[in-house]
Amino acid sequence: MSPRWVFHSLSSLGATATITAIYFSDPSLLYLHHFCILGYIAFVMTRFQCEPYHPAVWLTPFLYIYHGSTCVYHLLGLESARYPEEVTLCVWLAIATVGNFFILFGKRDEIRYKTEHMQIGAIPVRVLKSLYILFLCIFALDLIQFLFSGASSKIDIVIFEMRGINLNFSHSLLIVTYTILLSYYTFVQKRYPLRLTVLTLGVLLLGVLVLGERDLLLRPLAISLLVLSVQKKSAKWLVLPLGALALLSVPFLGALKSYFTLGVRLSSENDFLLSPFYGEFLRVGKNLEVILHRVDMWDYFYGETLLWDIARGIIPGFIYVPSNPTSWFNDLFFSSLRSEGGANGFSLLAEGYINFGYSGIVLWYSGLSLFALLFFRYSKRSILALACYLYMIPFMIHVQRADFSNLISPFWKQLIVPISILILGVAAHKALIRRKQKKSRGRKPAYT
């Protein structure tokens, strides 16, 4: 045990005990409680050198932004929260769990990547280039077909059963191949492929303008910034403010999404400037408040929802679509919206709560922290593993407004299965070539 680890561990545990004691001494001191929570987040981020790709650095602030925005808006007088004190306690339990987990169990991890000593991976660049072009063309054809279909939003694909358009398939695999190619060029060939990034972001921006899905652009943008932060240590001081600007761009993307089908949609000036947290983040805290307010409509699941998550994440949708906590939440509380083809998100924090109450929050975020820590350690084995980790970071952030099935599904269906098929295909191709070469060398020349 190093003296530094002991100091940070005792500091984190001491801060946790102090903030918890302050809360229970007077839960109504919301300003003080949220100031203490933000201070603890700053402490955790500093402990891991504010490196944007480290799990503790991106998980703790986004956890607060997603679940704590309801309380922040309540304190600012912009929204009225029903249970600000209870939500504050839930948020603090989750953040304290994540912070202490990484400080206590991440002591042996080297924060920086040594990419020059890492293995490359089993997928050749020429194969990735071909797949990238293929998925880029498929995505472009899907956008063209969508434009000529008369649909106005992505939900129309489901409502009108447009089975020929599979945007989840095309854009997910496009971003996967982009992430791996970007990592190969940056860390193996030692050059950042700016043209590749511009082309990808440009095409996916068109996807936002057509489909209205902001994640199409925000996910690869986040991955591109993360690759920069891994490439150069000093880049974090550029990446962190650019990441903050990306959050502030949410209302502009919201005004332009589905531009080709619905045109520009602007709300009032005040709502427009405040909207980054209304649609994307504020709703998550509101969903938790729905759970807290209507405790008479549900009973604890005691871990059952994890089985739903695993089934929903692994079973292909064309075979069977199992229930998950998000669909349960919408069916129970928003049945009329559900019948019209719409739905709200949910809350990972709320999923933990409906299973074991406050203890469930600790268990759920311990599980998420363990997954992120093990993935972070695994990502140092090869450039391919690093690319997979960077690809999953946006999902580990976005799962805050959903449930664990929304993390299991992309991990299994967009990474494990496609990459395993690719690696097996490349290995089989190499074995076939070796076999042919061996046969050709074994042939005796014919004499006449």
Q: Quote the CA–CA distance of 314 and 321 in Å, as a whole number.
A: 10
Q: Quote the CA–CA distance of 274 and 110 in Å, as a whole number.
A: 39
For residue 435, what pLDDT is reported? 84
Contact 369, 101 (CB under 8 A): yes
| pLDDT grade for 448, boundaries at 50, 70 and 90 | very low
In the structure encoding, which two tokens stand for residue 315, read together?
């079973």
In the structure encoding, which two tokens stand for residue 293, read together?
């307010």
Q: Quote the CA–CA distance of 275 and 73 in Å, as a whole number.
A: 12
Q: Worst-scoring range by mean pLDDT, 55-64, 267-276, 422-431?
A: 267-276
Percentage above 70 pLDDT, the chain: 86
DSSP 295: G
For residue 164, what pLDDT is reported? 47
**Segment (H or E) for 21:** helix 3-25
For helices 30-47 and 55-75, what crossing angle results, to 10°?
Answer: 160
For residue 252, what pLDDT is reported? 67
CA distances to 109, 314, 349 from 97, in Å: 19, 27, 12
Q: Quote the CA–CA distance of 205 and 199 in Å, as a whole number.
A: 10
Comparison of pLDDT for 128 and 245, the residue scoring more = 128
Q: Is 159's pLDDT higher than 50?
A: no
Strand partners, 382: 119
Mean pLDDT, rounded, of the chain: 87
pTM of the predicted protein model: 0.92
Give the tens place of pLDDT for each residue, 334-360. 888 777 767 788 999 999 999 999 999
